[in-house]
Amino acid sequence: MKNGKRVQRVPIGARPPANPQAEAWVRVGEANDLDALARGEVYTARLTLDVTPALRGRIKVAAFTRGITVADMLRALLEREFPEQRP
């Protein structure tokens, strides 16, 4: 109620159908970059990890001092530690 009057809520409609072309464009990202394709960066999966606030702070400071994002720094670290095994 607003000022004693009942406010009518407007319902939110159903989610519009997805545009396959738009979604493909978003997923491709750097598809024109052949190195990105070779490294498998076009399609990614989210990894969630619980760390202490102190460790999170140290990670953020390390990334900042290197002038890169935390995500980029951790991806590079994981690539070094777990290189792709090619036959």
- Sign of the Cα torsion 20, 25, 28, 34 reads positive
Cα–Cα dist 10/16, whole Å: 17
Per-residue pLDDT reduced to its tens digit, 60-82? 999 999 999 999 999 999 999 99
Domains of the chain: 20-81 (1.10.1220)
pTM, two decimals, is 0.50
- The residue assigned the tokens 């994002």 is 69
Q: What does the buried/exposed string (b/e) look like for 14-39 if buried means 16 or more CB atoms within 10 Å of the residue's CB?
A: eeeeeeeeeeeeeeeeeeeeeeeeee
Per-residue pLDDT reduced to its tens digit, 9-62? 767 776 667 777 766 666 665 455 555 555 555 667 888 999 999 999 999 999
